[in-house]
């Protein structure tokens, strides 16, 4: 076996097999988020941020931080606690897929 093939084989063995994010699965899961963040990621309450159009990597990181307790929040800590990595990726993909348009008056 050549060194290049061996390196590729070792690298492939080290990379976890993760499924791609599924925005439609995220959309379904996001129904629970709608109370505060709105059905399309536009906040319904003054102290909840808009999620629509946020970068996917940012959304996933924040959900993981809520889940681990690194970002403490009374409500989001409880909600994120039971999210799987796949659910986090799906939610992030859904909210990131929503387009937000800003217009000047």
pLDDT digits 0-9 by tens, 53-72: 999 999 999 999 999 999 99
pTM: 0.81
Residue ranges of domains in the chain, CATH in brackets: 17-97 (1.10.760.10)
Instruction: Tell whether the model's pLDDT for residue 5 goes beyond 80.
Output: no
Contacts of 93 (CB under 8 A, 6+ apart): 21, 22, 23, 26, 56
pLDDT for 6-38, tens place per residue?
A: 445 444 444 444 589 999 999 999 999 999 999
- Give the pLDDT confidence score for residue 18 in this predicted structure: 59
């Amino acid at each position: 076996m050549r060194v290049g093939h061996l390196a590729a084989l070792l690298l492939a063995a080290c990379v976890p097999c993760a499924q791609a994010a599924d925005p439609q699965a995220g959309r379904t899961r996001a129904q629970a988020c709608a109370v505060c963040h709105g059905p399309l990621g536009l906040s319904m309450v003054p102290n909840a941020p808009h999620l629509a159009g946020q970068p996917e990597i940012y959304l996933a990181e924040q959900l993981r931080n809520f889940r681990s307790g690194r970002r403490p929040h009374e409500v989001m800590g409880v909600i994120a606690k039971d999210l799987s990595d796949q659910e986090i990726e799906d939610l992030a993909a859904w909210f990131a897929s929503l387009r937000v348009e800003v217009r000047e008056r």
